A = this chain, B = another copy of it.
Amino acid sequence: MQLSRPIGVFDSGVGGLTVVKSLMERLPNEKIIYFGDTARVPYGVKSVEAIRHFSAQIAEFLLKQKVKILVIACNTIAAVATEHIKKIAKDLPVLNVIESGAKAATLYTQNHAIGVMATQATIKSGAYTQAIHKIQPNCRVYSQVCPLFVPLVEEGLLNHPATLLMAKEYLEFIKTEPVDVLLLGCTHYPLLIPLLKQLTNERLCWVDPAITTAEEVASLLKESHLLNPSQAIPEHQFYVSDIPLKFQAIAEQFLGYRLQKLQLARLD
């Protein structure tokens, strides 16, 4: 395989750009191709069948771009479509935010009690609990659905009284449980860490799967001798299925950089 091939990263929208940001920092010489299905976002409230259908279309698009690894940067897709995508990817490695997040969380918990905050589809799938139990069968997992966090973040209300109110409600569950690690199982949620920290014990450990996934991609590429030897600054490519209102601003909030080379690619 050509080592200069890109890393394919995809998500239902812009949230997966947090994984791209972590990858750009961890692996500055790797070219990244990103696909965000902004025409059909959000996936978190849709059916398993729809999510599988949509994500298969995206995976096929990225495979045509000759990527060397597929990274599922969307918790909802990771939760319900990983096996489906592995079949489509055949021999190509497929990593996802859930397995990476679960690995880190089990490493950090001392009480064997992890809290998972995510969208309804992710929690309902049980994927985080399964991934955690695969590594640490005796670990207790406490799940909390936080459906308002995505729209609040997308409206930029990162420090608004309404966000604080919702966060208080969503964090209620850790008061009565011995949780010492909180896994943020949705790409949008880490943007709320400063606000969430105001409401929680300072010894609580926060896991952002975007960061742990970038670490895991780096390890896997190294072990498989797939790292790009070139020292040139790569030109990343960003594809979206729609360029909606406020897109640039929201996307750059997630990416933390200026968005270069954005292209529209319709899937339907």
Contact = CB atoms under 8 A, between A and B. Distances in A.
Nearest to A151: B151
A242 B165 contact: no
A3 interface: no
A259 interface: no
Contacts of A243: 47
B161 A46 contact: no
Quickly give the copy total for this chain.
Answer: 2
A151 B162 contact: no
A91 interface: no
A139 to B, nearest CB: 26
Contact of A120 (B40, B50, B166, B245): B245
A55 to B, nearest CB: 13
A33 to B, nearest CB: 21
A38 interface: yes
Interface residues of A, number: 34
A56 to B, nearest CB: 12
A157 B246 CA distance: 26
Interface string A43-67: 0011101100110000000000000
- Most chain B C-beta atoms within 10 Å of own C-beta, residue among A45, A54, A120, A241: A45
Contact of A50 (B46, B151, B165, B244): B244
Contacts of A54: 39
A148 interface: yes
A147 interface: yes
A148 B154 CA distance: 10
Given A151-B148, A267-B268, A47 B162 contact: no
Contact of A244 (B39, B46, B165, B166): B46
Interface of A: 38-40, 45-47, 49-50, 53-54, 120-121, 124, 147-148, 150-152, 154-155, 157, 161-162, 165-166, 241-246, 266-268
Given A46-B244, A47-B243, A147-B155, 19 more contacts: A40-B40, A45-B154, A45-B245, A45-B246, A46-B242, A47-B242, A47-B244, A49-B242, A120-B246, A147-B151, A147-B154, A148-B151, A148-B152, A148-B157, A148-B162, A150-B151, A162-B165, A165-B165, A268-B268
In order of increasing CB-CB distance, the 5 nearest A-B pairs are A268-B268, A151-B151, A50-B242, A162-B162, A162-B165
